């Protein structure tokens, strides 16, 4: 019953008429009292402190003063017309200036009345003034309200035009807060609240908007952040639990001929300890009878592909088929070639299916999959098409680089002919066996992001590079150093090495980018003429056959320079390439730069990454470039990337729901996130179905969340 109050439509709040309620809905998604009370300030202005006029300095962003207005004058004409009020306290005088609302302000000023003034001081003609300050008469009420931390709310131009600037929203909160007394149900158990010394939800909501003091504001933030993270983690862990209970995985109990033959006869090198450990983790999963849903993280070049292959071989050993899905055609080709090469002396049929596979070939592949002749299918999104049906698919590897959505991952579940070709809508597939799923990310993702984005998956990390890898030397050059860079490239080519030159590609201006690329290509060809040098070019607008042909020339060493857009970003593996030169490096994201750099340093020779940029660099671009120069560690780079961009801008986060974090912050609240996950996990371990009386509040809140959401438990 208590909930009904919070569900009250926003138009029932004093101060919200039909027009404002329409705007609140459209602009801020605020439909109910609950939506308003959970619309949190994004910062606070500290108004606990009063300054004296003589204490004002240029570097104070805001000052709050208390004093009287001695006289008021209107100066200037037309556009320059302004009102100047001389404001005094016992230490000096400062000018308050208004360019607008002059009439209204004039009426407000009564002589011999004390005012509280708040605003940003600026120095003009050697005197301080404050333009358009906030100004209130001193009264008991105003003094109390002024002397506080004042919340600042996000708002929009449209809302402002209806009096709902930040102040206006605060007025609504002030109207609502007295009404919520005893109406806010607790959502956490008293065990959690007492154990972590949290304040109640009601207390927290009150103080997040109208903090009584800084300590209570901190407690309110802590409480609300914890709660937000806790329920996300609880949902993820619950989804995992339901999936494990509802579906089983095929049991891969044997490690047989394929795996052993490959391991003993065809493995071109020793596995790293990290690779061995991860393969063991995967084997344990696959033998357990539970369906594996595992995230495999490892830096660029750490050897994830090999782990994927050995996992696939275990599936084959147990009589199942496997597939490997990649985000782009080039990468699919590359994987297909790698697997074919590694398996060339074994009797295993591998097929490649992409958007450009010919119809006749397609038919053969469909047949081969259904009669079980094709054991491994590699490809792009094309694998998701309905005609693609396997005889007995047991293992799905997804090489993802955050490009596949959760929904697409879920589609892989219906790929096997048993028990029914249609994707079940709910959990009514109870008891069915599903293929095991291994998700690989192209570059590491930050821990907090992994915990939220893939929080219902188990995680394996390859934290070791294959032996003998030399650190890639990364340098940053401005365009003026170009000739020296060219000279260096020539030395490398003379020593028999190959070089990538990469140009940015940004979708909104594809034409411009293509021109940029073609100009660059021409200047490279001029600088590196035939017959001594040969240059390949690959970009997104080429036919895939042409792309592949150019790529192959480079792979075979027939060309020494590959000029390309970011299409070569993932996967491409040419160990003889030692220089990665990136043009307009300031236009690339960090993970992209790191991924590109990972294209070199794959062989025995010292490799180099050269970041070219113009002189004009934004602060963020400079941080990105400096980070690249400073470190080769993908995990560290991922953390910086998250700090710079925020989780909402990292692809793949949209569907996950973590973009809706209202108050918690994946960068700042990493420890709290871990605490929330541990707490959620402990509760589920003790009370899997959340039936105990003490967890009633939690169960209710969880049910609330799930009401209108897709069934996450089915999604890998």
303 binds ligand ADP per the rule CB under 6 A: yes
Considering only the stretches 96-104, 215-223, 266-274, 534-542, report the one whose residues sit in contact with ligand ADP under the rule CB under 6 A.
266-274
Token pair of 366, please? 């469909």
Range 561-590, binding ligand ADP (CB under 6 A):
573, 575
Find residue 314's DSSP bridge partners: none
CB of 444 to ligand ADP, least distance (A): 10
The neighbour count for residue 406, using CB atoms within 10 Å, is: 17
Q: How many residues bind ligand ADP (CB under 6 A)?
A: 17
Q: Say if CB 612 and CB 583 are below 8 A apart.
A: yes
Q: Say if CB 96 and CB 129 are below 8 A apart.
A: yes
Q: How far is Cα 555 from Cα 237, in angstroms, rounded to an integer? A: 44
Q: Which of 32, 150, 166, 275 binds ligand ADP (CB under 6 A)?
A: 275
607 binds ligand ADP per the rule CB under 6 A: no
464 binds ligand ADP per the rule CB under 6 A: no
Q: Which of 34, 173, 302, 653 binds ligand ADP (CB under 6 A)?
A: 302
CB of 35 to ligand ADP, least distance (A): 44
300 binds ligand ADP per the rule CB under 6 A: yes
Residue nearest to ligand ADP (CB): 303
Considering only the stretches 15-23, 268-276, 381-389, 553-561, report the one whose residues sit in contact with ligand ADP under the rule CB under 6 A.
268-276
**3-state DSSP assignment of residue 86:** strand
Q: How far is Cα 95 from Cα 87, in angstroms, rounded to an integer? A: 6
CB of 430 to ligand ADP, least distance (A): 36
Starting at the edge strand found earlier in the chain, the sheet holding 127-131 runs: 121-124, 127-131, 92-98, 82-89, 63-75, 114-119, 134-137
Write each residue from 100 to 139 as x if it is in contact with ligand ADP (CB under 6 A), else as -, in one continuous string: ----------------------------------------
CB of 286 to ligand ADP, least distance (A): 20
Cis peptide before 531 (omega within 30 of 0): yes
The terminus-to-terminus CA distance of the chain in angstroms comes to 36
Considering only the stretches 75-83, 91-99, 101-109, 296-304, report the one whose residues sit in contact with ligand ADP under the rule CB under 6 A.
296-304
Residue 413 or residue 608: which is nearer to ligand ADP going by CB?
Answer: 608
Write each residue from 465 to 494 as x if it is in contact with ligand ADP (CB under 6 A), else as -, in one continuous string: -x----------------------------
CB neighbours of 434 closer than 8 A, spacing ≥ 6? Answer: 247, 248, 249, 291, 413
Residue 34 or residue 595: which is nearer to ligand ADP going by CB?
Answer: 595
Q: How far is Cα 263 from Cα 332, in angstroms, rounded to an integer? A: 24
Considering only the stretches 218-226, 236-244, 293-301, 621-629, report the one whose residues sit in contact with ligand ADP under the rule CB under 6 A.
293-301
CB of 334 to ligand ADP, least distance (A): 8
277 binds ligand ADP per the rule CB under 6 A: no
Name the residue with tokens 């984005």: 453
591 binds ligand ADP per the rule CB under 6 A: no
Q: Which of 41, 67, 133, 301 binds ligand ADP (CB under 6 A)?
A: 301
Which DSSP symbol is given to 390? B
The neighbour count for residue 87, using CB atoms within 10 Å, is: 23
Q: How far is Cα 599 from Cα 567, in angstroms, rounded to an integer? A: 12
Q: How far is Cα 298 from Cα 441, in angstroms, rounded to an integer? A: 7
Angle of CA points 558, 528, 572, to nearest 5°: 45
In which element (H, E) is residue 335 found?
A: helix 329-342
698 binds ligand ADP per the rule CB under 6 A: no
Find residue 393's DSSP bridge partners: 321
504 binds ligand ADP per the rule CB under 6 A: no
CB of 301 to ligand ADP, least distance (A): 4
401 binds ligand ADP per the rule CB under 6 A: no
Q: For binding to ligand ADP (CB under 6 A), which residues are involved?
A: 269-272, 275, 298, 300-306, 466, 573, 575, 602
């Amino acid at each position: 019953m208590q909930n009904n109050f919070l569900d009250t439509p926003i138009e029932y709040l004093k101060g919200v008429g039909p027009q404002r309620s329409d705007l609140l809905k459209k602009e801020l998604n605020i439909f109910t009292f609950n939506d308003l009370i959970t619309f949190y300030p994004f910062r606070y202005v500290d108004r606990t402190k009063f300054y004296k006029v003589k204490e004002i300095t240029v570097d104070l962003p805001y000052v709050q003063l208390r004093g009287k207005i001695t006289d008021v004058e209107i100066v200037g004409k037309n556009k320059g017309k302004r009102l100047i009020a001389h404001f005094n306290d016992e230490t000096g005088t400062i000018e308050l200036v208004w360019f607008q609302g002059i009439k209204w302000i004039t009426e407000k000023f009564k002589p011999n009345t004390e005012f509280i003034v708040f605003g940003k001081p600026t120095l003009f003609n050697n005197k301080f003034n404050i333009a358009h300050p906030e100004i209130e008469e001193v009264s008991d009420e105003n003094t109390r309200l002024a002397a506080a931390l004042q919340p600042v709310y996000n708002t929009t131009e449209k809302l402002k035009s209806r009096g709902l600037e930040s102040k206006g929203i605060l007025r609504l909160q002030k109207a609502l807060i007295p009404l919520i007394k005893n109406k806010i149900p607790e959502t956490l158990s008293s065990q959690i609240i007492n154990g972590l010394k949290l304040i109640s939800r009601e207390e927290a909501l009150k103080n997040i908007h109208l903090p009584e003091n800084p300590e209570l504001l901190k407690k309110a933030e802590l409480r609300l952040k914890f709660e937000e993270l806790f329920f996300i983690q609880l949902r993820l862990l619950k989804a995992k639990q339901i999936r494990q209970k509802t579906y089983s995985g095929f049991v891969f109990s044997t490690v047989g001929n394929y795996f052993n033959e490959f391991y003993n006869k065809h493995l071109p090198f020793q596995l790293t300890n990290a690779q061995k450990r991860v393969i063991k983790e995967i084997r344990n999963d696959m033998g357990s009878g539970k369906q594996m849903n595992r995230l495999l993280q490892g830096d660029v070049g750490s050897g994830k592909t090999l782990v994927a292959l050995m996992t696939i071989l275990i599936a084959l050993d147990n009589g199942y088929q496997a597939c490997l899905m990649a985000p782009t055609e080039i990468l699919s080709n590359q994987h297909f070639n790698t697997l074919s090469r590694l398996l060339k002396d074994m009797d295993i049929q591998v097929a490649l299916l992409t958007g450009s596979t010919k119809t006749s070939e397609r038919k053969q592949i469909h047949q081969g999959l259904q009669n079980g002749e094709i054991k491994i299918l590699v490809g792009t999104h094309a694998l998701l098409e309905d005609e693609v049906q396997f005889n007995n698919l047991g293992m799905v590897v997804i090489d993802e680089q955050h490009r596949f959505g959760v929904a697409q991952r879920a589609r892989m579940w219906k790929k096997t002919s048993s028990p029914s070709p249609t994707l079940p809508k709910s959990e009514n597939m109870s008891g069915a066996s599903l293929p095991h799923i291994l998700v690989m990310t192209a570059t590491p993702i930050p821990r907090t992001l992994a915990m939220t984005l893939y929080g219902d998956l188990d995680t394996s990390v390859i934290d070791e590079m294959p032996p003998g890898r030399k650190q890639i030397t990364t340098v940053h050059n401005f365009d003026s150093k170009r000739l020296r860079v060219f000279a260096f490239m020539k030395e490398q080519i003379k020593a028999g090495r190959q070089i990538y030159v990469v140009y940015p590609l940004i979708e909104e201006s594809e034409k411009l980018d293509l021109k940029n690329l073609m100009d660059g290509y021409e200047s490279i060809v001029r600088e590196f003429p035939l017959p001594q040098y040969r240059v390949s070019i690959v970009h997104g607008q080429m036919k895939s056959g042409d792309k592949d042909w150019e790529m192959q020339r480079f792979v075979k060493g027939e060309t020494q320079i590959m000029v390309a857009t970011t299409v070569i970003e993932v996967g491409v593996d040419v160990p003889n390439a030692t220089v990665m030169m990136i043009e307009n490096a300031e236009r690339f994201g960090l993970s992209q730069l790191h991924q590109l750099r990972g294209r070199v340093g794959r062989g025995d020779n010292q490799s180099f990454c050269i970041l070219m940029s113009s002189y004009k660099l934004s602060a963020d671009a400079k941080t990105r470039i400096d980070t690249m120069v400073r470190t080769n560690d993908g995990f560290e780079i991922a953390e910086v990337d998250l700090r710079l961009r925020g989780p909402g801008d990292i692809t793949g986060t949209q569907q996950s729901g973590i973009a809706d974090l209202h108050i918690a912050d994946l960068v700042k609240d990493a420890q709290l996130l871990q605490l929330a996950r541990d707490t959620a996990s402990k509760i589920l371990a003790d009370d899997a179905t959340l039936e105990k009386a003490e967890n009633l509040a939690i169960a209710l809140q969880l049910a609330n969340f799930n009401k209108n959401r897709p069934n996450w438990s089915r999604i890998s």
